Amino acid sequence: MRFDLGGFDAVLLDMDGTLVDTESLWIEAVLGVAAELGADPLDQAQVIGGTVAGIVAVVGAATGGRYTAADLDRRIDQAVKRKIAEVGVRLRPGARRLLDDLIAAGMPCALVTSSGRADTEIILDVLGRAAFAHTVTADDVPRHKPDPLPYASAAALLGVDPARCVAIEDSLAGLAAAEGAGCTTVAVPHLQDIPDAPGRNVLTSLEMVSVTPVKVTQ
């Protein structure tokens, strides 16, 4: 199965786990911090697709409230940066080709991520910024995935009806947000199993996504 983006007005892309293989680094860092602090065992499903604030809350609960949110945020941020420094930022299969195709087709595109602005800027240095007319980070909206607001905000910034957008995601939280906003979705599972759902297209890789420009008739 393949999916072509050419018939839509805009593409909204998740970042961690979808375009870059940072989701696994986040999970390793979070689980490592939690273990160091003597937390109860965490299910990685609790942190996939979540915001930093949400992840901090999960670790805080697992450690019995013995650490402040600011302390946990600092520890997790340092652990993630160490992981990225160790292995670098790796693109998911097909990500570079897809971004190049979006640019070549002139397809309006926005990045919609649960990461904060500072972390997103680091990843954009790797991805390149040419494909993205706008970026919506956790610092830009008061409510986060699975709330629809991030995707609704991205569509509004592009001036496009969400119903005319395709959102590409790897997590259930992200899909819930995009589908709640009214987008057609493409799911490329990475660390979570993704079931079929109405309006959702489950693919095995970004390599199965194509961008055929729509011919405009005079």
User: Tens digits of per-residue pLDDT, 31-72?
Assistant: 999 999 998 878 877 777 777 888 899 999 999 999 999 999
Answer yes or no: is pLDDT of 218 > 60.
no
Strands (E) in the chain, as ranges, are 3-4, 10-13, 109-112, 134-136, 165-169, 184-187, 200-202, 209-210
Q: What order of strands is seen across the sheet that includes strand 200-202?
A: 134-136, 109-112, 10-13, 165-169, 184-187, 200-202
> pLDDT class for 186, splitting at 50, 70, 90?
very high
Within 10 Å of residue 112's Cβ, how many Cβ atoms?
A: 32
Return the pLDDT at 86. Answer: 87
Alpha carbon distance 196, 212 (integer Å)? 25
Return the pLDDT at 83. Answer: 86
Answer yes or no: is pLDDT of 88 > 60.
yes
Alpha carbon distance 4, 65 (integer Å)? 47
> Tokens representing 118?
């500072």
Kindly report the average pLDDT of the chain as a whole number. Answer: 92
